[in-house]
A and B are shown apart, each in its own frame.
Chain A
Amino acid sequence: MRIRLTLLRCLAILGIAWPASSASGQDAATVDSAIASLELRSIGPALMGGRISDIAVDPTRPTHWFVAAGSGGLWKTVNAGITWTPVFDDQPSYSIGALAIDPTTPDVVWVGTGENVSGRHVGWGDGVYRSRDAGQTWEQMGLTTSQHIGRILVHPDDGDVVYVAAEGPLWSAGGERGVYKSTDGGATWRAVLTIDEHTGVTDLEFAPDNPDVMYAAAYQRRRHVWSFLGGGPNSGIYKSTDGGDTWRQVTTGLPKGDVGKIGLAVTPADPSLVYATIEADEDERGFYRSQDRGESWEHRNSYISGGTGPHYYQEIEASPTDPDLIYQMDVFVHVTRDGGATFDYLGTGREKHSDNHAMWIDPYHGGHLLVGTDAGLYETFDEGVTYRHFPNLPVSQFYKVALDNAEPFYNVVGGAQDLGTLLGPSRTTNIEGVRNRDWYVPLGADGHAAAFDPTDDHTVYMETQVGNLYRYDRRSEEGIAIQPQPAPGDPPERRNWDAPLLVSPHAPQRVYHGSQRLWRSDDRGDSWTAVSGDLTRNENRYELEFMGRVWSVDALYDNGAMSQYATLSAVSESPLVEGLIYVGTDDGLVQVTEDGGANWRRIENLPGFPTRGFVNDVEASQHDENGIFVAGDNHKLGDFRPYLYESTDRGRSWRSIAGDLPDGTLVWAIEQDHVNPDLLFLATEFGLYTSLNHGRNWHMLRGGVPTISFRDLEIQRRDNDLVGASFGRGFYVLDDYTPLRTMAANGLAASTLFPVRDAWWYVPLAPMQAPGKPTLGSTDYTAPNPPFGAVFTYYLDDVPPTARAARRDRERALRDAGADVPFPGWDALRAEIGERGPQVLLIVRDAEGQAVRWIEGPAEAGLHRASWDLRRPLPDPVDLVVPDFVPPWGGEPRGPLAPPGTYSVELLLASGLRGDYGVPGGDRRTLAAGIGCRREDR
């Protein structure tokens, strides 16, 4: 039966009655701490996972697995994937390239940070980490400048001997790259194989029967914004016979020309065999085999991994029992059963997602494989005939986010790396939350910028890579391509991998889209007019340098699955002045037109911004018709500094608003609050930030958020929500950020109850019979809704200690001073008995002032939230007996629904003494905000 919900919307009617202190009266740490208390809410999704870069299975506990997300941290399961726990969230790096479990002590786990693929979108790491308690705690173990770790090997007999294959920085020379060896469990490292400042090592193997014999794959590569050079003359295969202390290059039978990424594999089924898949030119690339421990090689096949490029895959795994059986990671997993003479697809490609990066082979059951792909983890027990997906790893990488105005709750749409464009609700009206099945994928491929028609939630603009723009009708679920096309005789259009898209704030049918020029449509994309010429530097990427020189067009360039160069990368139109449009480019320019595109002014004077920096975002001010913000990026030249600017004269002059952002905080996108011009939000490489003072100070929104890159963010103006698009952990929502607006206006007041947002009134649905997971089991993934009902936010600057706590503090000081501790007296001790400690009570009253409900809230100093479920108190007799077991259909005892109406709320703080209610200092003024209600039907 379809249930028709009756909704009640509550309207704020009163402001705060409590006097506010000034912002300057609060130290930064207090503000930081308060803001960090605002919990963001992950809404997933997990239905498509995200890129898995490595897998490690505990050899002694086969249901204990570690799975590394390329960008999304490290996940552990102790039940073979029924549930997962992120175990690396508090570390400084979110990008992981390699895992290793110490075979002699499996509680020792090694993590190499920085992905080991060289994609256009990868993050970077800060070295290797070790856990000695199976992932509960971590120690940073050095190699902090390696940025990308290809492989970690732990000696099979001595856990103190560890080897790291460091690929080294992808976007610059230098750093720690090569093979590093530690003989003291990572306390110190020695560079045992160093090739040059451009060449690292991507793979490493022991001979299965003798760990003194080792093989290493040297890898010379470089990526910049304009191109990826996937190989060079210094890549190759090296061999050591003394436990990695010395190395020599082996060349017999191997390619003579430039070489790119090499994947290595060995097998205990025949320790003399070494396999290598080698990226090289068309004549020399392919699959190689050595039958004499790497001394000489035979070219077996020309097959190498393709698709996004060899650099994205090129890993091979050999069966431990069949010497001729090798799997190769590729768009589709390939398999050879004859030692590389022939290759075939493993399966039909329809059993699971493509883009395979990691594989674990069960040593006791060869058909049992774990495979890591761009869409998460899969398991097969029949060698790829069938798979199961783990739909409970929320590690999707979103490039962009957009929001609609649907009621009661807005929707979120975003483009994700290799997962297409996903669309789902910000919250639901059921008791479970935002479930995987609430999401769908209206457009495939790589997803990028998206936008809703602000007047029609059914119309969504979406893009695949390189600006393939579609208009999607959610009623028919049909999309139509609307990419603007050049007229005959026009120069070719160049489009960024993540091409800019904007619906004009002045006309919902007007859409802007960027190639190297800006296009405008006034009919929702049916027809287009170019409103600019080429707005970029228009440099030929094949004339730009790599590693200090320009390379031949025949070099191992791998530009097929990456952006075109010299393109627009961002666009914004002033919401205050129609036709005042700013664009940014991927080659360091900002351009502005004040007349809808008739004339453009080129801007190159952003202070300190590199000539070929990448303009990640331009945002016209919401308040100042001459204001513009720019977020710039130079990380693909190895420079991670924050380039964040504001102009108040339409780009004629600029100032940095990077403020106190930590160095190394690459900035991706900025948003300005639509009410308070000083309240800014920032998406950065390591989290979301807010500034309450227009960029002088930045505070991380760390509540409930792991270390993760946020590449975009959006404000839902009706609900005052902030939604961040993380690149590896899905979407995060800061529900009702208006306390920040209040803090930006008034400072962080001493004990404040903030205004209350409207609340929707409905009876949450139990779609699967009962709360919990009685039907779907523990694997079912659901992200939480915010608390149902009205949510109250309050700040307590101080909470009086109990008499007992105060006495103990005094006594501790005396003890520390070596003084006598006086007897407190019997009266004092009697008073301490029965103290409850501080207590926060929120009193909800109806429009007539009648108390409706007490709500208890946290009573520690700081910022807190509590919620009222729009019900009156439970009328049942009080029963303090807690049964051992309650079946899920037993439900939770609840009071009757409160009727629609207008309500208010007061905050009271009880100190430790009984009956002493009030706010700190004994002042009994109440703090009140209002909630009003009106009835609505959906």
Chain B
Amino acid sequence: MRAALLRAPQAAPELIGRMDTFAERLRALSWQLWGDAARSRLDEPGPLSIGRRVGTVAGGHWDTRQEPTATFRTLLSSAQADFATFEAELTQLLEQDLAALERDLEAAGAPWTPGRGLP
């Protein structure tokens, strides 16, 4: 989309800022799901991501018939709650903000980008 924007000279400059904001919000959501990339790049532990919590439970319980531990239940419970928030924010981001961004890009004459429906 950023490439398409640069090929739409009629686009308002504020669209660039909106796209940056969109990318930041998407990155923040991604980090909620998968963890803090800045910290992991330097091999530093970060806050437990949703994915890490689910992965910990799955990996730690995949090959045993033992009852899930209380820690696992707590992790899943918090992951479930955070995922609900995450899902709502992502839905908002995709269905409203992204859709609006795409409409404005299209209106500005930006070319089609992969992943979008054909106009």
Tell me the A residues contacting B by CB distance below 8 Å: 470, 473, 476, 478-488, 491-495, 523, 525-528, 542, 553, 557, 559-560, 562, 564
Q: Check if A492 sits within 8 Å of B46, measured CB to CB.
A: yes
Tell me the B residues contacting A by CB distance below 8 Å: 39, 42-48, 53, 56, 59-61, 63-66, 69-71, 74-75, 78, 82
**Docked pose: A564 CA to B45 CA in angstroms:** 8
Q: Check if A485 sits within 8 Å of B74, measured CB to CB.
A: yes
Given contacts A485-B74, A523-B70, A525-B69, contact A553 B42 (CB under 8 A): yes
**Docked pose: A525 CA to B78 CA in angstroms:** 19
Ordered by A's residue number, 24 sampled pairs between the chains whose C-beta atoms are within 8 Å are: A476-B64, A478-B64, A478-B66, A479-B63, A480-B61, A481-B59, A482-B71, A483-B71, A485-B53, A485-B75, A486-B47, A488-B48, A491-B47, A495-B45, A526-B70, A527-B70, A527-B71, A527-B74, A528-B71, A553-B42, A557-B42, A557-B43, A562-B43, A564-B44
Q: Out of B44, B59, B64, B69, which one reaches A527, CB within 8 Å?
A: B69
Given contacts A479-B64, A481-B59, A557-B42, contact A488 B69 (CB under 8 A): no
**Docked pose: A481 CA to B78 CA in angstroms:** 18
Given contacts A481-B61, A557-B42, contact A486 B71 (CB under 8 A): no
Residue of B whose beta carbon sits closest to that of A541: B44
Give, as a whole number of angstroms, the nearest-CB distance from A735 to chain B: 36
Residue of A whose beta carbon sits closest to that of B73: A527
Q: Out of A480, A493, A494, A525, which one reaches B64, CB within 8 Å?
A: A480
- Complex contacts, A526 vs chain B, CB 8 Å: 69-71
Q: Check if A494 sits within 8 Å of B45, measured CB to CB.
A: yes
A479-B64, A564-B44 given. 20 additional CB < 8 A pairs?
A473-B66, A476-B64, A476-B66, A478-B64, A478-B65, A482-B71, A483-B56, A485-B75, A488-B48, A492-B48, A493-B45, A523-B70, A526-B69, A526-B70, A526-B71, A527-B69, A527-B70, A553-B42, A559-B43, A564-B45
Q: Out of B44, B66, B78, which one reaches A480, CB within 8 Å?
A: B66
- Complex contacts, A488 vs chain B, CB 8 Å: 48, 78, 82
**Docked pose: A618 CA to B75 CA in angstroms:** 32
Q: Check if B71 sits within 8 Å of A478, measured CB to CB.
A: no
Residue of B whose beta carbon sits closest to that of A478: B64
Give, as a whole number of angstroms, the nearest-CB distance from A663 to chain B: 35
Nearest 9 CB-CB pairs, A to B?
A481-B60, A527-B70, A492-B45, A478-B64, A559-B43, A526-B69, A480-B66, A480-B64, A526-B70
Residue of B whose beta carbon sits closest to that of A559: B43
Q: Check if A485 sits within 8 Å of B56, measured CB to CB.
A: yes
**Docked pose: A493 CA to B45 CA in angstroms:** 7
Give, as a whole number of angstroms, the nearest-CB distance from B43 to chain A: 4
A480, A494, A525 — most chain B CB neighbours (10 Å): A480
Q: Check if B69 sits within 8 Å of A559, measured CB to CB.
A: no
Residue of A whose beta carbon sits closest to that of B70: A527
**Docked pose: A564 CA to B46 CA in angstroms:** 12
Q: Out of B61, B64, B71, which one reaches A485, CB within 8 Å?
A: B71
Q: Check if B56 sits within 8 Å of A481, measured CB to CB.
A: yes
- Complex contacts, A473 vs chain B, CB 8 Å: 66
**Docked pose: A562 CA to B43 CA in angstroms:** 9
**Docked pose: A542 CA to B38 CA in angstroms:** 13
- Complex contacts, B42 vs chain A, CB 8 Å: 542, 553, 557, 559
Give, as a whole number of angstroms, the nearest-CB distance from A18 to chain B: 55
Q: Check if A476 sits within 8 Å of B48, measured CB to CB.
A: no
**Docked pose: A553 CA to B38 CA in angstroms:** 11
Give, as a whole number of angstroms, the nearest-CB distance from A501 to chain B: 16
B59, B65, B66, B78 — most chain A CB neighbours (10 Å): B66
**Docked pose: A562 CA to B46 CA in angstroms:** 16
Residue of B whose beta carbon sits closest to that of A527: B70
- Complex contacts, B45 vs chain A, CB 8 Å: 492-495, 564
Q: Out of B43, B69, B71, which one reaches A560, CB within 8 Å?
A: B43
**Docked pose: A564 CA to B74 CA in angstroms:** 25
Residue of B whose beta carbon sits closest to that of A482: B69
Q: Check if B59 sits within 8 Å of A476, measured CB to CB.
A: no
Residue of A whose beta carbon sits closest to that of B81: A488
**Docked pose: A470 CA to B78 CA in angstroms:** 22
- Complex contacts, B69 vs chain A, CB 8 Å: 480, 482, 525-527
**Docked pose: A562 CA to B44 CA in angstroms:** 11
Residue of B whose beta carbon sits closest to that of A476: B65
**Docked pose: A479 CA to B69 CA in angstroms:** 12
- Complex contacts, A494 vs chain B, CB 8 Å: 45
- Complex contacts, B63 vs chain A, CB 8 Å: 478-479
Residue of B whose beta carbon sits closest to that of A492: B45
Q: Check if A480 sits within 8 Å of B60, measured CB to CB.
A: yes
Given contacts A480-B64, A481-B61, A485-B56, contact A492 B47 (CB under 8 A): yes
Residue of A whose beta carbon sits closest to that of B68: A480
- Complex contacts, A559 vs chain B, CB 8 Å: 42-43
Residue of B whose beta carbon sits closest to that of A472: B64
**Docked pose: A564 CA to B65 CA in angstroms:** 32
A470, A488, A494, A557 — most chain B CB neighbours (10 Å): A488
**Docked pose: A562 CA to B70 CA in angstroms:** 29
**Docked pose: A559 CA to B45 CA in angstroms:** 12
Give, as a whole number of angstroms, the nearest-CB distance from B74 to chain A: 7
- Complex contacts, B47 vs chain A, CB 8 Å: 486, 491-492
- Complex contacts, A557 vs chain B, CB 8 Å: 42-43
- Complex contacts, B75 vs chain A, CB 8 Å: 485
**Docked pose: A492 CA to B46 CA in angstroms:** 5
Q: Check if A486 sits within 8 Å of B64, measured CB to CB.
A: no
**Docked pose: A542 CA to B47 CA in angstroms:** 18
- Complex contacts, A542 vs chain B, CB 8 Å: 42
- Complex contacts, A495 vs chain B, CB 8 Å: 45
Give, as a whole number of angstroms, the nearest-CB distance from A514 to chain B: 14
- Complex contacts, A485 vs chain B, CB 8 Å: 48, 53, 56, 71, 74-75
**Docked pose: A473 CA to B48 CA in angstroms:** 28
Give, as a whole number of angstroms, the nearest-CB distance from A140 to chain B: 39
- Complex contacts, A525 vs chain B, CB 8 Å: 69
- Complex contacts, A553 vs chain B, CB 8 Å: 42
**Docked pose: A523 CA to B66 CA in angstroms:** 14
Give, as a whole number of angstroms, the nearest-CB distance from B36 to chain A: 9
**Docked pose: A526 CA to B75 CA in angstroms:** 12
**Docked pose: A473 CA to B66 CA in angstroms:** 9
Q: Check if A486 sits within 8 Å of B65, measured CB to CB.
A: no
**Docked pose: A484 CA to B47 CA in angstroms:** 14
**Docked pose: A480 CA to B56 CA in angstroms:** 11
Give, as a whole number of angstroms, the nearest-CB distance from A785 to chain B: 34
- Complex contacts, A560 vs chain B, CB 8 Å: 43
